[in-house]
Amino acid sequence: MARFLKDRSKAKGLVPGSLVLIGRQKMDQPVIQLITYDKNNLLEESVDSVSSIQQKLSADKVNWINIYGLHDLEMIKKVGEEFKLPSLLLEDILNTDQSPKYENGENYDAFIMKILHQEKEANRIQAEQVTLILGENYVLTLQERKGDFFEVVRERIRKNKGRIRISGNDYLAYTLMDTLVDNYSILIETIGRQVEDIEDRLFKTMDSKIVEEIYRFKTELNYIRKAVRPVREFITTLLRTEDSFFKEKNFAFLKDLNDLTVQCAEAVEMYNSMTSDQLNIYNSNMSNKMNEVMKTLTIFASIFIPLTFVAGIYGMNFDYIPELKFRYGYLLFWVVILIVGGGLLIYFRRKKWL
């Protein structure tokens, strides 16, 4: 289960800024990849150690360093030294519970965000943390494990699609964030479609699975909201930050990203209120059904219980029950039965129960 706050007991009582991975180790060996490109050149290489990675960066090209795996604390420390990142930031990178946030350092802009994906089998949303660090001449991404989430961006770089090869590091950072938010919107859409599909079943069936699904959607929307909302806020902050590494000519992209994020946040709220409405409606329908069931029971019981009583009377063995001797006693019995039964039927019809 994707927990909101992971087990922090490891971190308890630690010096602030001391490094510890909060969350599970998700792969064996950390992997470091470097992609360097400009309009005409593209170099992808795998790097063994971060120690001397600064020398590999080309000042006039875009340098994208991918790091997968966060459990090698020594390596993370070296990353910090190499790129002059403060220990508090490193701590945040390792705390995979960290809410999304933006930090404007002297020599970097750091973005902590979440990769959300819906596990098919578990029908649950899983969150992975990804940290984007944009420096003067590099983009550094740190993920919990190797995945193909950013493969679309790498493909775009390789195939030289769009403006990515002719734009700078900040555009790459934007592209990565855009990929993340785009992913949120697809996820929301998937859930939204399921929410809207419930609508069609809501008035046709009383299947109690609906309640379970509604609850699941509510929980998932909660998780997504938690990933999306801070992004909206930090883009606003970013746009106002004067000394960020985002060039102003790329602000239009950030604004567009902001619009998409706002749209996501609104869709989450809207689907959340739809699920609440659906739950209310389900309960109303349930009451309706219950009422119908109770009416049926009441009509059956209220008609036949008195009649059974009458029949019981003439099943008694008293020595002297005059009605039993009447010539038309049995006939009379039926007349009484029909009158009483019919009267009750009319009574219930008057009450509009029939």
What residues numbered 61-90 form the site for a copy of itself, per CB under 8 A?
Answer: 86, 88
Cβ-based neighbours of 144, under 8 Å, separated by 6 or more: 23, 26, 27, 68, 69, 70, 96, 128, 129, 130
Decide whether 69 or 244 has the Cβ nearer to a copy of itself.
244
Nearer to a copy of itself, 147 or 306 (CB): 306
- Which region among 32-40, 53-61, 209-217, 234-242 touches a copy of itself (by CB under 8 A)? 209-217
Residues 6+ apart with CB under 8 A from 220: 118, 124, 125, 191
The residue among 49 and 298 lying less far from a copy of itself, judged by its C-beta, is 298
Q: Which of 321, 336, 346, 354 binds a copy of itself (CB under 8 A)?
A: 321
Q: Which of 145, 226, 236, 239 binds a copy of itself (CB under 8 A)?
A: 226
The answer to whether 234 touches 198, Cβ cutoff 8 Å, is no
Q: Does position 317 bind a copy of itself by CB under 8 A?
A: yes
State the minimum distance, in angstroms, from the CB of residue 28 to a copy of itself: 27
Using CB under 8 A as the binding rule, the residues of this chain from 238 to 297 that contact a copy of itself are 252-253, 256, 259, 262-263, 266-267, 270-271, 273-274, 277-291, 293-297
Q: In angstroms, give the least distance from the CB of 14 to a copy of itself.
A: 8
Contact yes or no for 276/264 (Cβ under 8 A): no
Residues 90-129 that bind a copy of itself (CB under 8 A): 91-92, 97-99, 101
Q: Is 40 in the site for a copy of itself (CB under 8 A)?
A: no
Binding-site size, a copy of itself (CB under 8 A): 117
Closer to a copy of itself by Cβ: residue 240 or 325: 325
Question: What is the end-to-end Cα distance of the chain in Å, rounded?
Answer: 49
Shortest distance, position 197 Cβ to a copy of itself, whole Å: 9
Task: Sort 102 into a burial class: Cβ within 10 Å, 0-12 / 13-18 / 19+.
Answer: buried
User: Based on CB atoms, which residue is closest to a copy of itself, 30 or 174?
Assistant: 174
Q: What does DSSP assign to residue 167?
A: S
Task: Report the residue number, 8 or 45, with the smaller CB distance to a copy of itself.
Answer: 8
Closest contact distance (angstroms) between CB of 168 and a copy of itself is 15
d(C-alpha 107, C-alpha 266), whole Å: 34
Stretch binding a copy of itself (CB under 8 A), from 48-56, 133-141, 172-180, 238-246: 172-180
Amino acid identity, position 186: I
Q: Which of 90, 134, 176, 202 binds a copy of itself (CB under 8 A)?
A: 202
* Torsion of the alpha carbons at 161, 162, 167 and 170, rounded to the nearest 10: -100
Taking a C-beta distance cutoff of 8 angstroms, is the pair 112, 140 a contact? no
**Which of 7, 28, 136, 248 touches a copy of itself (CB under 8 A)?**
7
Cα distance between residue 92 and residue 96, in whole Å: 7
In order, the DSSP letters of 88-144 are HHHHHHHBTTPPPEEEE-SSEEEEEEEEEEEETTTTEEEEEEEEEEEESS-EEEEES
Q: Measured between alpha carbons, how far is 36 from 45 in angstroms, rounded to an integer?
A: 9
Among residue numbers 10 through 29, which ones bind a copy of itself (CB under 8 A)? 11-13, 15-18
Dig out the tokens for 185 from the structure.
Answer: 């919107």
